[in-house]
Amino acid sequence: MEFVRTMNTQARTNAITGSITVTVNEAAGQEAIERAKALLASIPGGLDKAVKAAMSRTVRRLRSESSRAIQEKYDISDAGIRTEKHVRVSYSYQNGVQATITFSGRKIPLYRFGGASPAVPTQDIAAGRKPVMRKGAWTMQYQGVPAKGHQFKDTGPTQFMDAFVARMKSGHIGIFERTGGMTSEGSDAIREIMGSSVAQMVGKPEVAQRLTEESYQTFETELDKAVYRVLTGWR
């Protein structure tokens, strides 16, 4: 069994696609497959049926385990993961069984990871008013309290002195920073600070290793169960 990761990044849209390919063939999962071969030798097509069933269940387990594997490394809730996770599964039955699980979606706002603060847009009264460009003219106003945020559980939140929490007209709240440019309306241009996408988090070596080990164990267990089902169904 092999676990292959690929990434396709579309920087202009913050869209990230990552593929996980799990392949079972003669050279992979050999011990479990040889055991299944021996038990199903008298049943035409029995081995193929059992391997396909085991792979299908392995993929379902891998999908459910991806969130837990991510959360071992990243400080993000189930809700934060689910809202950005789009999963597609495809199978190929040439030269063994191959299942490709594709995770796609945009980068997740840093604000939605744990440790983000302030919780709501907050003016930094202590710092006083500062000049800000508004509709082509400089105006003095309070700016947001410097924002904090991080992604990984083993790091503390980082303070971004030039970033702040703001609410957009749409109601979306995020951590933003000024770009130094101007909007078409003559105001300071800002951009949101983003974290990783689900595809990028799954592609992290520690997360990928966790899922690889889970795939090995799950496939062997499910193959044994599938062999039993084929045998009892045949009888």
Q: Are residues 45 and 23 in the same domain?
A: yes
Integer Cα distance of 67 and 46 in angstroms: 33
Q: Are residues 30 and 92 in the same domain?
A: yes
H/E element, 162: strand 158-167
Q: Are residues 89 and 72 in the same domain?
A: yes
Domain that holds residue 135: 112-192
Side chain identity at 227, as an amino acid letter? V
- Three-state secondary structure call for residue 100: strand
pLDDT at 163: 93
Tell me how many domains the chain contains.
Answer: 2
pLDDT at 134: 75
Q: Are residues 49 and 93 in the same domain?
A: yes
Record the pTM: 0.74
pLDDT exceeds 80 at position 100: no
Q: Are residues 52 and 97 in the same domain?
A: yes
Q: Are residues 23 and 85 in the same domain?
A: yes
pLDDT at 202: 85
Q: Are residues 148 and 179 in the same domain?
A: yes
Q: Which of 105, 126, 112 is nearest to 78 (CA)?
A: 112
Q: Are residues 124 and 222 in the same domain?
A: no
